[in-house]
Amino acid sequence: STQQYAKLQTLLKSKVLDWAMRGKLVEQDPHDEPASVLLEKIKAEKRKMIKEKEIKKSKPLPPITDEEKPFDIPDSWEWVRLGNIAKRITDGTHNPPPNSHEGKQVISAINIKKGKIDFSLSNRFVSEDQFLKEDKRTNIRKGDVLLTIVGSLGNAAVVDTDKLFTAQRSVAVISSNILSKFLYYVLISAMFKTQIFANAKGTTQKGIYLSKLINLKLPLPPLAEQNRIVDKIDNLFIY
C-alpha cells in the first residue's frame, strides 16, 4: 500500500543518513584534504571575523572526549561541536513586534517543512524599519541553515532564496563554513536529532537553548567528501 511504501521510504532515508554520518555512504579519497585542515581554516576565518567585529568572540567549547563519541568515523574525519563549525548561531526575536501585515516576513517553526521554507504557511510581517533592527540579530542570508528549536524540534532547511526575512525564537539560524546541504543532512539525521531531544527542556512546549545547541556533536568529513555525500544522497532520494 501507499502507506507501507511511505514507511519504507522513511526507513531507507534514515538508514542512508546514518551511513552518511558514519562515513559508509561514499568512499574516502586519500587525496582529500583532511577535516582537521578544514577546522584550522574555519578557526582562522572566525579569528578574522572577530577582529573585523563581524562576530563576537565566544568561549571555547570543551573538547570531545572519546567516551562522548557515539560511533567510529574514518581517519580523515573529525568529531566537532556545532559551535566549532558555525560562524554564527542565533535564534529569532524573543519579543516579536506587532504584525505590520506588510514589509518583510517573520517566519517561525511552522514555516519549516520537509526541508523547505514555506512562506505561505504564516502571514506575520514587520515594517522595513523594524526589519533592520531584527536583521541585526538574525541576519538570515542565502546558504544559511535554519533549524526549529521550540515546539516541533529538529526540522531544518537551507535558505535558497535572496528574499530578506527574519524569524521568531522557535527558529535557529546557523551560518557555517561547511557545505550547507551537508549540514542540513547532519541536522535531520537520527544521530543529531537524538541529541536535540535529549537536551530539550520544557513542559508545555519543549525547546533547546542555543547554549546547549552549540555543544551538540557531529562528524565532520573533508569538504570534498561532503560534496560527494550530498550528491549521493540527492541522487538516492529526491527529497
User: What are the backbone angles phi and psi of residue 135, rounded to the nearest 5°?
Assistant: -65, -25
162-167: average pLDDT: 97
The pLDDT, as a whole number, for residue 238 is 66
Q: What percent of the chain has pLDDT over 90?
A: 89
Distance CA 134, CA 75 (A): 42
Strand ranges inside 32-121, DSSP E: 78-81, 86-91, 104-107, 112-113, 116-117
Q: In what order do the strands lie in the sheet with 125-126?
A: 125-126, 104-107, 166-167
DSSP state of 72: -
DSSP state of 157: E
Domain of 78 in residue numbering reads as 2-236
- Give the residue with greater pLDDT, 2 vs 219: 219
Global confidence as pTM: 0.95
The pLDDT, as a whole number, for residue 165 is 98
**CATH label of the domain that carries residue 148:** 3.90.220.20
- Cα four-point dihedral sign 208, 213, 216, 222: positive
What pLDDT band is residue 95 in, cutting at 50, 70 and 90? confident
Residue 239, pLDDT above cutoff 70: no
Indicate the burial class of 14 (C-beta count within 10 angstroms; 0-12, 13-18, 19 or more). middle
Distance CA 45, CA 39 (A): 10
Q: How many domains, the chain?
A: 1
- Calculate ∠ Cα 189-31-226, nearest 5°: 20
| Of 216, 210, 209, 212, residue with least CA distance to 187 | 216
What pLDDT band is residue 46 in, cutting at 50, 70 and 90? very high
The pLDDT, as a whole number, for residue 94 is 87
